């Protein structure tokens, strides 16, 4: 009997889902083909949603619709965990508005961790490095192999740290005379804002009134520092404990460079501001040290400040610019080009100076592809800052030092400000909004996009070395 050739028929649609099934399939295909673009889409949708919520009359204390440029700027600053503001968080926004901002910070910070971790996990699988996260060895695939497990650990770690900080801060606000509910709100707000390196504050005068209160300053500083290390480091410490030999190269480099930057930044900041009567010149030695360490930690991403940034010495402002540009750890709530990027570039320069053919650290060889990605991230970041400075200088007409400070703070999602954001016209606010978005999502997508682009070449051109330097 002759067999009939089967004819193709479209797969039946799942009942009860309708357009939702098609949308989910589109998202799945989009994520599989370009996870970096999915990250951009996710953050864009989140910013638009929170902009609409902040524009509602219920969000402002005067009961009016907040102008689009102000609502968009605030939403982008919250979702991108920056902390720059153009209106007072305490005076302009109602409790509902502040709650929207806090949710934006939580979603933005958690989204950053989640998306960055998922992207690096996808990159590792694409490169065949099943035992690595963000292209580093030492992380157990039995815990990270499943996306669901990865997301569960990220969420639990974030909630646990933020909850612990909230308990400590709430207790302190209660002892300072605030009522229970206000203390609880302030404790939760500061815990989420500090761990996510956002820098938003529900007080009109920020944390300046608590500049000598270690019960408040220490938890905020610890939360900001831990958040700036990044989820891969937190997970690496959770699995390997505090045993140096069991840490992956990424964990070692992140912790070591972060500690160096905090120590060096504290020493230089304190030395430059030691006799400045407008900042810490009139304080005793203990308070000067506290301010120096706190400023060094906050400058790298979080953005809480105890002194007026306009009162800093010119040299201190240059130091702040440099620390802001570096930022924190990869796949963290911090911004900047990331400390591992700086470490890889420095190790490459050191290897070149020694004449070594390979870039090595702690008994490991760093692949040339990682160096290429690091150079690309630095150049892309510097280009964004340059373009941003050009546009802001043209729009505001302000001096270069103020413009550079504000642009770096936006790009590195730090939140420190000389007041230029609030003084800028709507066009300047839109420029800073784009910089915040690019600084939060751009480096992640660039690094992941470059890592997965591995083209197979069947031939090589003859080598010829151009004159460099």
Inter-residue contact 87 to 59 (CB < 8 Å): no
Q: What is the percentage of the chain residues whose pLDDT exceeds 70? A: 79
Q: Using the predicted structure, report yes or no on whether residue 380 has a pLDDT greater than 60.
A: yes
Q: Using the predicted structure, report yes or no on whether residue 141 has a pLDDT greater than 60.
A: no
Is 463 part of any domain?
no
List, for residues 383-423, the tens digit of each pLDDT value: 999 999 999 999 999 999 999 999 999 999 999 999 999 99
List, for residues 272-299, the tens digit of each pLDDT value: 999 999 999 999 999 999 999 999 999 9
The pLDDT score that the predictor gives to residue 15 is: 46
Is 202 part of any domain?
yes
Is 20 part of any domain?
no
List, for residues 152-167, the tens digit of each pLDDT value: 667 788 889 999 999 9
Neighbours of 383 (CB within 10 A): 10
Neighbours of 43 (CB within 10 A): 23
How far apart CA 381 and CA 438 sit, in angstroms, is 9
The pLDDT score that the predictor gives to residue 143 is: 45
Q: Using the predicted structure, report yes or no on whether residue 327 has a pLDDT greater than 70.
A: yes
- Mean pLDDT, residues 439-464: 68
Is 263 part of any domain?
yes
The pLDDT score that the predictor gives to residue 231 is: 77
**Count of domains in the chain?**
1
Q: Grade residue 461 by pLDDT with cuts at 50, 70 and 90.
A: confident
Q: Using the predicted structure, report yes or no on whether residue 10 has a pLDDT greater than 80.
A: no
Is 16 part of any domain?
no
Q: Grade residue 213 by pLDDT with cuts at 50, 70 and 90.
A: very high
Q: Using the predicted structure, report yes or no on whether residue 305 has a pLDDT greater than 60.
A: yes
List, for residues 53-81, the tens digit of each pLDDT value: 999 999 999 999 999 999 999 999 999 99
**Structural domain that includes position 301:** 34-452
Helix-helix angle 231-240:249-273, to 10 degrees: 120
Is 28 part of any domain?
no
Is 461 part of any domain?
no
Q: What phi and psi values does residue 187 have, to the nearest 5 degrees? A: -65, -45
Inter-residue contact 291 to 280 (CB < 8 Å): yes
Is 469 part of any domain?
no
The predicted model scores a pTM of 0.85
């Amino acid at each position: 009997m002759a067999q009939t050739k089967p004819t193709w028929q479209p797969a039946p649609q799942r009942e009860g889902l309708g357009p939702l099934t098609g949308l989910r399939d589109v998202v799945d295909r989009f994520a599989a083909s370009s996870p970096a673009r999915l990250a951009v889409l996710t953050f864009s949708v989140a910013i638009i949603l929170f902009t609409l919520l902040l524009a509602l009359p219920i969000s402002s204390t005067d009961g009016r619709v907040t102008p689009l440029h102000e609502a968009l700027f605030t939403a982008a600053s919250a979702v991108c965990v920056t902390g720059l503001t153009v209106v007072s968080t305490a005076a302009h926004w109602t409790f509902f508005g502040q709650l929207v901002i806090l949710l934006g910070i939580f979603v933005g910070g958690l989204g950053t961790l989640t998306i960055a971790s998922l992207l690096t996990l996808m990159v590792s699988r694409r490169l065949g490095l099943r035992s690595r996260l963000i292209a580093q060895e030492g992380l157990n695939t039995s815990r990270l192999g499943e996306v669901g497990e990865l997301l569960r650990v990220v969420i639990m770690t974030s909630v646990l740290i933020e909850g612990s900080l909230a308990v400590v801060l709430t207790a302190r606000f209660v002892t300072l005379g605030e009522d229970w509910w206000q203390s609880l709100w302030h404790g939760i707000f500061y815990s989420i804002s500090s761990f996510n390196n956002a820098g938003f504050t529900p007080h009109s005068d920020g944390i300046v009134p608590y500049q000598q209160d270690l019960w408040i300053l220490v938890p905020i500083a610890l939360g900001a520092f831990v958040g700036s290390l990044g989820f891969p480091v937190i997970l690496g410490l959770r699995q390997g404990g505090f045993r140096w030999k069991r840490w992956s190269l990424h964990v070692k480099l992140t912790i070591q460079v972060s500690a160096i930057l905090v120590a060096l930044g504290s020493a230089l900041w304190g030395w430059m501001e030691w006799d400045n009567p407008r900042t810490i010149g009139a304080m005793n030695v203990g308070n000067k040290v506290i301010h120096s360490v706190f400023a060094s930690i906050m400058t790298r991403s979080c953005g809480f400040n105890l002194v007026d940034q306009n009162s800093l010495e010119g040299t201190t402002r240059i130091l702040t610019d440099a620390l802001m540009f570096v930022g924190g750890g990869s796949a963290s709530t911090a911004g900047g080009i990331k400390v591992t990027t700086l470490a890889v570039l420095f190790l490459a320069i050191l290897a070149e100076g020694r004449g070594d053919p390979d870039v090595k650290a702690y008994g490991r060889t760093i692949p040339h592809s990682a160096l290429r990605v690091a150079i690309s991230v630095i150049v892309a970041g510097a280009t964004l800052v340059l373009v941003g400075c050009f546009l802001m200088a043209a729009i505001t007409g302000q001096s270069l030092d103020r413009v550079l400070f504000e642009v770096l703070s936006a790009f590195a999602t730090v939140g420190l400000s000389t007041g230029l954001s609030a003084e800028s016209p709507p066009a300047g606010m839109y420029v800073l909004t784009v910089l915040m978005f690019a600084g939060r999502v751009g480096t992640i997508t660039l690094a992941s996009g470059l890592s997965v682009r591995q083209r197979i070449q069947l031939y090589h051109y003859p080598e010829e070395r151009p004159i460099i330097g």
